[in-house]
Amino acid sequence: MEFEYIVGDIKTNIPWNRPTKKVIAEWYEEYKNIEGVSNYSLHIGGGTVNNKETWDVDLILLGKKENKNYREIRYILEESIKKGFDLKLLIDIFYKTALCTGSKTIEEHTKLKTWNKWSKKRLGVYTSKTYDESELISEGLWKYISIPKWTYKQMESKQYKLISMPIEDYLLT
C-alpha cells in the first residue's frame, strides 16, 4: 500500500489503526518517559472519550504555569506524535493553558502545535491542509486562535458528552 503522512517535520509511511484503549495505554506508558512531561497534565478528548469510531487521539498538553518553555513544549509535542506513529496511532496533540468548559457558548482559545500544515498520500490520492491563520512564535511552534465549532455542534446534538478528561481517568474507565 502506498502511504505517506507528513505533519510539520514528522513523516511516516506506515498507516495508523483506529485507536483502542489498550494501544492508548501503551502509548501513555511511553509518553511518561518523555523529558519534561511532569511539568504538564495531559487530557484526552474528541471521539475517543465519547466512544465514537475515530482515526485519531485528540490530546491536550495543559500548562501548569504561565511562563512557557517553548523548546520543552515543542519537544514533548513532537515526541508524542512520533511515539504514536511507532504504535500505528495518530496522535493529534496541542498545548493550551486552559481547558474549554463545554458550555453552550463557543469559546475562543489559543493553542500551540508543532505544525501548520499536514499532507497525506494514500493509494495515489493526495490531500493536505495549511493553517494560514497560524503564527510562528518559536522555532517549530505555531500559535492558533481556535474556535471549536464542530465540537460544540457535537455537544449540542448530544453526540458528544465530554470535551476532555485527564488521560489517567480515561484509562481507568
For residue 17, give Cα distances in angstroms to 35, 84, 86, 173.
27, 10, 11, 21
Q: Which three cell numbers stand for residue 166?
A: 485527564
Report pTM: 0.88
Q: What is the pLDDT along the chain (173 residues), one digit of tens a residue?
A: 689 999 999 999 999 999 999 999 999 999 999 999 999 999 998 889 888 899 999 999 998 666 789 999 999 999 999 999 999 999 999 998 777 655 555 556 788 999 999 999 998 899 999 988 889 999 999 998 876 665 656 666 666 666 788 999 999 98
